[in-house]
Amino acid sequence: MLDRQGDWKRTNYCGDLRAADIGREVTLMGWVHRRRDHGQIIFIDLRDRSGIAQVVFHGDQAKDAHAKAEELRGEYVAAVRGRVVRREKPNPQIPTGEVEVLAGELRLLNAAHAAPFAIEDEITASEETRLRFRYVDLRRPRLQRNLGLRHRLVFEMRRALDELGFYEIETPALARPTPEGARDYLVPSRVHHGHFYALPQSPQLFKQLLMISGLDRYFQIARCYRDEDLRADRQPEFTQLDLEMSFPRQDDIFEVIERVLERVWVATGLAVSRPFRRMEYRDAMERYGSDKPDLRFGMELRDVTPFFDPARETLRIHGSVRAVAAPGGAALSRKQVEELVEMAKSHGASGAYAVKMGPEGAASSLEKPLGAENLRAMTESLGAKAGDLILAVAAAAGGTAAKGPDPALPIAGHLRLGLAHRLKLVPQGRWEFTWLTGFPLFEWSETEKRWGSAQHPFTGIVEEDLEKLESAPWEVRSKGYDLVLNGVELGSGSIRIHRQDVQARLFRALGLSDEEARHRFGFFLDALTYGTPPHGGIALGLDRMVALLAGEKSIREVIAFPKTTAAQDLMADSPATVDTQQLDELGIRIKESG
C-alpha cells in the first residue's frame, strides 16, 4: 500500500551524511538502491542525486517501519525518518560509510518495475537498452556526474562572460534555410504552403546582425541542428557556446575565450596555463599531419621523399613520402603493424611501409629498393633508435588539389595518432590547448569541382591577400582560427567581413552570381551597408568540451536525451509519422518511395 508524502520535508541528501551528523533527526527521500533483509533486521541503501545512505530497520524497535521495509524492492521510492547513528562496522568504500540512519518511520511513496539493468557505473547493458530506458540510465552516478559537470561548466561560462560585458541574447530557432553548408532540418510553414523554415546550423548571421545593431558583445548557449550522418562526436542537435564582439583584434577574442575556459577548468578542479599556444595551419600540417594536432606527445612527421628517390621506379611512388617514428614501436605485433598499414591505404595512401629498428639497425622490406645506406640515412633523419618503429606513407595529389596540402600528410598524421594510442604514448590528464591560424580561405571541392569556403563565406580575408582573390585563390589566407584541445577541434571562429564590397567580391570568387547572392543573403548584404562595425567571434562545441572533461569517448554520455547514429530517439520513438490531417494543414503529401 502506498503512502502519501504528506507534510514530510526532506532535511538532508543521502550522500551528504557524515559523522558530524550523528545524533541528528533526519528525513531522507530517494530510491531503494538495494535491500538486505536479515529477518529481524533489514538494511536499505537509499539513493538520491548526491549518493547513498544506509538505513537500518529493527523489528523490535520500529515494528511498523520494519514491516513496511519488507515490502521494499529495487527502485521503489521511499521517505525515511530517523536518527543518524554511528555504524557498528563502518564501510570505508562509500562517503557515508561511517554512519547509518536508524529508521523510526517509513513512507512508501511509489512502487517500481524491476529496472532493466543495474543502477551502477560498471554496467553491461547495451547502449540500445540504455537509450530505450534513458530515464533509468540517467540514474547511474556516472551520468549524474556528467550532467552535473555540464551544468557547472555552463554556469561558469555565463558568470565569466557576464563579467566581461557580454549579453546573453536568444536568436530564432525558426530560421531561413541555407543552401550552403550542412543539410538543413526543415520545418514546413502552415501559413505559407511550400515555404519552409530551417532549424539553425548556427546563429551565424543573427549574431553578426546583433553587432550591426550595436549590441557590442553577445553570447548564447546555442542549440544547433545539422542533418548529416552521425558519429560518436556528432549529434543532429548539439550545443555551442557562441559569441561575437565588435571592434575586436584577434587577440581580444583569444583572451576572452582563454579567460572563460580558465574559469571553467579551475571550477572543475583542473589547471590550465594562459596564454594558449599558437600555431600556423601550414606548420600543424607539416609537423603533425592535422589541422587539429594532439600536442600531448611528440612524434613529429618528417618529409622523407628524397630517400625514396632510388625506389621511385620499383615502388611506383608519384607523390611525396612522409614518415613518423614511434618510440618502442618495434614491440607492436606484426598484426598491429599490418592494421596500421591497411588504415593508411584505406585513407588513400598509394604505399605504406614499416621499418623496425632492431639492435643491429633497421629491418625492412625497404632495404632492397632504397639501398641499405639510404635506409640508414632515413632512420637517422628521424632520430629512430633500437626498439622504435618507423611508418612511411606515400600519396600523390590529383588535379587541382595539388594546390592544397600534401596528401601524404593527413595519412601520416593518422598513423601518428594510431601508433601513439596503440603504444599508450598519449599522457592522460594533460590539457594541451592551441590556437590554429593562417587557414586558407578556400578549399578545393573534389565532388563539386570548384573552390569553396574552407570555413563559411563571412570569414574575413587577410588584407594583403585580397588582390589574389581572383588570380590565385589557393594562396589567400583567411582571418579564421580554430581552438584545438588534445587533438579535438573545440571550436572555430573568425574576424568577419564587415564591408559590403568585400563580401560581394568573395561571393563572386565563390562562383555565386550577384543575383544568387542577393537571393540567398540579400537581407544580410543590405544590413552590411547600414553601418557595420568590424566584428568577429567564435563558437565552441560544448558537448565535446564536457565529454573531454568527463573523460567520455562519446558525446552521448554528456547529453541527457541523445539520438542514435540513425538519428532516432529510442525512448520517445522519434521521428514518427503524423496523420494526414496534420499533413494537409501543411500542404504536404508523402511521396511513394521506390
Partner RNA sequence: GGGGCCGUAGUUCAGUUGGUUAGAACGCCUGCCUGUCACGCAGGAGGUCGCCGGUUCGAGUCCGGUCGGCCCCGCCA
Q: Which residues of the chain form contacts with RNA (CB under 7 A)?
A: 34, 36-41, 43, 45, 54, 56, 58-60, 73-74, 87-91, 93-94, 97, 100, 114-118, 124-129, 131, 178, 180-183, 201-202, 204, 226, 228-232, 234, 346-347, 443, 446-447, 452-457, 554, 556, 564-566, 568, 570
Q: Is the dihedral of CA 366, 367, 373, 376 positive or negative?
A: positive
Among residues 323 and 539, whose Cβ is nearest to RNA?
Answer: 539
- Which residue in this structure is represented by grid cell 611512388? 317
Q: Min. distance of Cβ 202 from RNA in angstroms?
A: 5
Q: Distances in Å between the alpha carbon of 259 and those of 35, 211, 215, 428, 495?
A: 48, 22, 21, 23, 19
Among residues 61 and 374, whose Cβ is nearest to RNA?
Answer: 61
Q: Min. distance of Cβ 365 from RNA in angstroms?
A: 26
**Among 386, 388, 390, 417, which residue's Cα sits nearest to residue 330?**
388
Chain-centroid distance, C-alpha 161:
21
Q: Min. distance of Cβ 356 from RNA in angstroms?
A: 26
Q: Min. distance of Cβ 317 from RNA in angstroms?
A: 22
Q: Min. distance of Cβ 348 from RNA in angstroms?
A: 8
Name the amino acid, one letter, at 389.
Answer: L
Q: Min. distance of Cβ 112 from RNA in angstroms?
A: 10
Alpha-carbon gap, residue 366 to 355, rounded angstroms: 8
Can you list the pairs that 497-504 forms with residues at least 24 positions away whose Cβ atoms lie under 8 Å? Answer: 497/458, 497/459, 497/460, 497/461, 498/460, 498/528, 498/532, 498/533, 498/534, 498/535, 499/528, 499/532, 500/525, 500/528, 500/529, 500/532, 502/461, 502/466, 503/458, 503/528
Q: What is the dihedral of CA 585, 588, 592, 594, to 10 degrees?
A: -150
Among residues 160 and 550, whose Cβ is nearest to RNA?
Answer: 550
Alpha-carbon gap, residue 503 to 521, rounded angstroms: 11
- Which three three-digit cell numbers place residue 528? 552590411
Q: Min. distance of Cβ 460 from RNA in angstroms?
A: 14
Among residues 279 and 417, whose Cβ is nearest to RNA?
Answer: 417
Alpha-carbon gap, residue 185 to 200, rounded angstroms: 8
Among residues 311 and 545, whose Cβ is nearest to RNA?
Answer: 545
Work out the angle between the directed axes of helices 542-550 and 141-163 (0-180°, nearest 10): 130
Q: Min. distance of Cβ 145 from RNA in angstroms?
A: 19
**Among 428, 432, 430, 451, which residue's Cα sits nearest to residue 440?**
451
* DSSP string over 294-335: -TTS----EE-GGGGGGGHHHHT--SEEEEEEETTGGGS-HH
Helix (H, G, I), strand (E, B) or coil at 274: coil
Among residues 225 and 353, whose Cβ is nearest to RNA?
Answer: 225
Q: Nearest 5 degrees, angle CA 401-CA 406-CA 407? A: 75
Among residues 83 and 158, whose Cβ is nearest to RNA?
Answer: 83
Q: Min. distance of Cβ 75 from RNA in angstroms?
A: 9
Among residues 369 and 440, whose Cβ is nearest to RNA?
Answer: 440
Chain-centroid distance, C-alpha 316:
40
Among residues 118 and 164, whose Cβ is nearest to RNA?
Answer: 118
Among residues 209 and 454, whose Cβ is nearest to RNA?
Answer: 454
Q: Nearest 5 degrees, angle CA 47-CA 49-CA 55? A: 25
Q: Can you say whether residue 425 is alpha, beta or left, with left for phi > 0 and alpha for psi between -120 and 50 degrees? A: alpha
Alpha-carbon gap, residue 560 to 253, rounded angstroms: 31
Among residues 100 and 294, whose Cβ is nearest to RNA?
Answer: 100
Q: Min. distance of Cβ 232 from RNA in angstroms?
A: 3
Q: Min. distance of Cβ 43 from RNA in angstroms?
A: 3
